[in-house]
Amino acid sequence: MTKTAIFDAFGTVVRIGHRTNPYGQLLREGIKQGRRPHSGDAHVIMTLNLDLHELAVHLGIRLSEPRRVEIESALQAELNSIEAYPDAIEAVAMLRERGVALGICSNLAKPYGTAVQRLFPSMDAYAFSFEIGAAKPDPRIYQALLEMIDARPGQSAVATASEAWMVGDSARCDRDGARAVGVKGHYLDRSGASPIQDLVQFAHLILE
């Protein structure tokens, strides 16, 4: 049976070095135009396969050309600042060497997916909320990841939740949500307040 290691993206394997909050800027433009913020805005942003300007149209937010360029420039600056955690690079290499299937399962807006794949190009599967149309802790996104692992060319053993481990910086999404579908979910807290404090530790847990 194939072992599978599933990682969250932001706060787990990658981090943003320079935050510009482009989607917050977009929503504030909507407020200026009389659009009331909605509790589901974040979910919409992360589950629609739309670029920022397409999302603005979907939300009914009008952007002048100068303001569109300004917000998209802020987005690009944030994307350019994304970097991998050193322990993530080490953990992925350890697990890859031992034949563990690797996946990233993350809630994010469309432009961020490319940045994650650029830094971790050799994962076996990526389940991004904007592509799946479901966000953690919705069971569908974890199940989609396992199905992608299972569909790899040359895959001989079935990837099952019972042989899958997940880690991330959200107890609700990456520990509890994963466990709800049978995946061994773990909470990552780099401050030391959790049993899992870095990803090399997580890798050893799987390999043991």
Please state the three-class secondary structure of 78-112 as a single string: HHHCEEECHHHHHHHHHHHHCCCEEEEEECCCHHH
Same domain, 76 and 87: no
Distances (CA, A) of 175 to 64, 183, 197: 42, 9, 14
Same domain, 99 and 185: yes
Predicted TM-score of the model (pTM): 0.93
Q: Average the pLDDT over 154-170 and give the result.
A: 75
Per-residue model confidence (pLDDT) at position 179: 96
Domain tally, the chain: 2
Q: Which domain, by its residues, includes 46?
A: 22-80
State the pLDDT confidence band at 162, using cuts at 50, 70 and 90.
Answer: confident
Closest CA to 174 of 186, 163, 159: 186
Same domain, 27 and 7: no
Same domain, 11 and 103: yes
Per-residue model confidence (pLDDT) at position 1: 63
Same domain, 6 and 106: yes
Per-residue model confidence (pLDDT) at position 159: 55
Same domain, 157 and 194: yes
Same domain, 11 and 37: no
Residue 39 has pLDDT above 70, yes or no: yes
Task: Dump pLDDT digits (tens) for 43-83.
Answer: 999 999 999 999 999 999 999 999 999 999 999 999 999 99
